[in-house]
Structures are given as structure tokens and as C-alpha cells.
Amino acid sequence: MNLLKLVLLAAMAAMCSSAAVGQTAYDADLARKLGADDFGMKKYVFCMLKTGPNDAKFTGKERSDLFAGHLANIKRLAAAGKLALAGPFSENGEGARGLFIFNVETVDEARALVDTDPTIKAGVLIADLVPWYGTAALLEVNSLHNRIKKKDF
């Protein structure tokens, strides 16, 4: 089973286990704010970042600058509400480097956002995009993260 399938299965298992914990009071205003459907879910686009064909071509300052731009782009997209979640993977044999979950409904919308990333433009990373249906509560992650981090990237 490839890494993308494993990540998606783990995310689905987390949603199912959280649903089994119990029902709390429904908050219609919060559901509306987050764009939740009747199940508390919404459409996203999942992005698996993989090593690109030009990864080895960039070293030193040029590589550092590309990844500084990559992080700046992540922050910009998160601040704009377009990026629900992002993060790198540990080293693995699959060539998987990281993931994005975009707060958009279509792969075309996500592709336009991915194309703003300097590491994608340079071919250091490539992006596999698939539609994903997950909890609308995911949109609260960035707000929570900002409250628990001590340092910024």
C-alpha cells in the first residue's frame, strides 16, 4: 500500500475514533463559519508533496532561498484561509516530503495555489492532488497552533 493511502486511512480512522467519543452540543454558528455540512464535514483537497526531478540541482544558498520561499508561501496561504494543514514527513523510502490540505473544493483551485510555491516552480518538489472529505473542524488547527507554538519557522 503506498504512503498516500496510508495517510488517508489514518486520517479517516482518526475521524471515526473522534466520532465514537460522543456527541456534544451542536453549534450552528460555528458550523456555518467553518462551512460544515450536516455531518460536520466539508470538501478539501489533499496534496502529497514528493521529491521532484530537480531536487539535486539546488544546493547551498539557492536551496535555502527556495525553502525560505516555500515556508513563506505556506504562511501566506494559511493566513488567507486556503491552507488548513501542512507539514513535512520524516525520511522515508517513498519520496514523500510533506503534505498540504487545502481549504478549497476542487483540484484545479488547489493546483493554482500549489503553483505559487517556489519549490514546485523549481521542480524540487512535485504535488499529487486528490479531493478529500474531512472534518470542518480542521480549519481551527491554525488558530490553535498559533496559541501553542513558542517559535516560528
What pLDDT digit, counting tens, does each position of 66-93 carry? 999 999 999 999 999 999 999 999 999 9
Res. 11: pLDDT tops 60: no
pLDDT the model gives residue 4: 53
- Percent of the chain beyond pLDDT 70? 85
Q: Tell me the DSSP string of 61-73.
A: HHHHHHHHHHHHH
Res. 64 pLDDT band, cuts 50 70 90: very high
Please say whether the beta carbons of 8 and 46 come within 8 A: yes
How far are the Cα atoms of 20, 42, 89, 150 from residue 7, in angstroms, in the given order?
A: 20, 18, 11, 27
What pLDDT digit, counting tens, does each position of 114-151 carry? 999 999 999 999 999 999 999 999 999 888 888 999 99
User: 140: Cβ–Cβ under 8 A, 6 or more apart, which residues?
Assistant: 34
Please say whether the beta carbons of 120 and 114 come within 8 A: yes
Per 3-state DSSP, the chain is made up of helix, strand and coil in percentages (nearest 5) of 50, 25, 30
Q: Going from the N-terminus, what domains does the chain have, and what CATH number goes with each?
A: 33-148 (3.30.70.1060)
